[in-house]
Structure 1
């Protein structure tokens, strides 16, 4: 079904029975429910649970199709920010001197750490993913050897990398993303970390924006997106990078590294360091 229900109007019907029976009962709602799901409720498989989600309270005749001996519950679905709820299960992350945690976790007790409170909300990037972890380590190592004056976080997501750069160098950082929700979340996180004066977040596709062009060239560009967009944007990103600038790329699998490196080698950029975290690679490139 191609419905876009209002979150506040969702109703859920739930019942438990044997697997054969819940599968049969599930068929009653196939054409009327937004979604149905089955889950084992008892470890030995003797009892299964079926949940059917409706856009609004279902008509009485739909529920009346259930056999009389079936016990069920039907009620409005409790409204929660399920993304935030799931993030409460994520542990804090230490990457170099960066300590990234949700607002539900306490700050790092050691002041030498760059403490960042990040609630991803509708945007990607909590620090837990291997690509973000690799970028944070790369930023931390770069901070030890280089001063940064003008940085860009391309595809900023939650803004975690832009905030990390602002936190480390205390310099203004530009952040951009194709998703307007990411821009909103980046500003929310900047405000929460008292970094709002240093962050300018804009909605843009790649580097196709007048403000991004005016701010170039950048002495640091971080792009944690995906391998194919990184390849497609290689000429544009490289052109926006200062002569002695540093480029941090992530969002690529190890098997995609050669493809991405070759795209930037053609633009005069060479690999200086690689961070491999699981199957994901983060690359640090500079001009040869």
Structure 2
């Protein structure tokens, strides 16, 4: 996401016809697009009410799509190989919100995440309302759903946490979920994008969460990584969540691990299967060990624990000089 002072980026849409089978194959996250700085949002829909096999693919881009991106889209719908795609600049609208309106609710573990207030709540579930918006983290992405499922499983096996941090929070969803599971915890949520922090505050209000610094409240900060005095002061955390991207996860490994107490837990997501070894190597070098891995498609969620440091000089808090800054990285 751009920060609030950056000039607006023109939005574009690429449209291609496709078959129903091709549309169903696109129902999820496309690994090839995950490496892009601004991956497109893909939407499929029925094109002809009387022809159940006539579908269309709409891909929404921030900025004009490159020839390589269009070529990749075309490769996903072979039936349209001889058809020229429609490439058009969009009016100055919130295209992410428009593209996500009407998404189906997502259930992960005990959590049921709705994008529209008109969607019914699920009895017996923790119902959360995260409207489609300019920030990532509505629950639709496999990484967010994977984190929700992992948090639920951790609670079910009896894990307890009292000081939680969600770095790269996006919409605030994972911080809210953690507070539902451990309601007496202190929660800190941050994002490099000030707009995401504003949206998280709005979502907190919509879900009956209190923004503040006390127990059972979520404290919100705009920061690159953990580069904020309040985030450092509130350390060490016994649970830290980072659902961002593999590159930032690797770069931030020293500062994120320094924020976690001995025996504490880090939840990592936003990486692809082929990036797991590189990410794990960075965290093992900081004294972390892999405790659990759960995959949703191409997207793994990793639960790590910090090994105790034996000896009388065991570090207890983060060195104030370790700022943990990773400029240019935000939440996935």
Whether TM exceeds 0.5 here: the answer is yes
Bigger relative contact order (CA 8 A; separation at least 6): 2
Equivalence map 1:138-149=2 (5 Å)? 138-144=150-156, 145-149=158-162
2:190 equivalent in structure 1: 176
In structure 1, what is the Cα distance between the partners aligned to 2:151 and 2:246? 20
**CA 1:155–1:120: 2 relative to 1, 3 Å:** farther
Equivalence map 1:32-43=2 (5 Å)? none
In structure 2, what is the Cα distance between the partners aligned to 1:91 and 1:130? 14
In structure 1, what is the Cα distance between the partners aligned to 2:128 and 2:233? 29
Equivalence map 1:264-283=2 (5 Å)? 264-283=283-302
Equivalence map 1:205-216=2 (5 Å)? 205-216=224-235
For the 8 Å contact 1:271–1:285, the answer to whether it is kept is yes
2:137 equivalent in structure 1: 125
1:163 equivalent in structure 2: 176
**CA 1:187–1:225: 2 relative to 1, 3 Å:** same
**CA 1:104–1:240: 2 relative to 1, 3 Å:** same
For the 8 Å contact 1:226–1:252, the answer to whether it is kept is yes
In structure 2, what is the Cα distance between the partners aligned to 1:88 and 1:51? 21
In structure 2, what is the Cα distance between the partners aligned to 1:253 and 1:164? 23
Shift of 1:113: 1.3
1:27 equivalent in structure 2: none
Instruction: Identify the structure with the greater helix proportion.
Output: 1
When normalised by structure 1's length, the TM-score is: 0.72
Between the two proteins, the alignment pairs up a number of residues equal to: 231
When normalised by structure 2's length, the TM-score is: 0.63
2:113 equivalent in structure 1: 100
**CA 1:212–1:82: 2 relative to 1, 3 Å:** same
| Deviations 1:186-220 (CA, angstroms, capped at 9, x unpaired) | 00100100102412111001111100110000010
Shift of 1:107: 4.1
**CA 1:270–1:105: 2 relative to 1, 3 Å:** farther
Equivalence map 1:1-288=2 (5 Å)? 81-110=94-123, 112-144=124-156, 145-170=158-183, 171-197=185-211, 198-288=217-307
1:19 equivalent in structure 2: none
- Specify every segment of 5 or more residues in structure 1 that has no aligned partner in the other structure, as ranges: 8-33, 37-43, 55-76
Shift of 1:49: 10
> What RMSD, in angstroms, separates the aligned Cα atoms of the two structures?
3.0
Shift of 1:166: 1.4
| Deviations 1:148-189 (CA, angstroms, capped at 9, x unpaired) | 111000000111111111122113311001101110110010
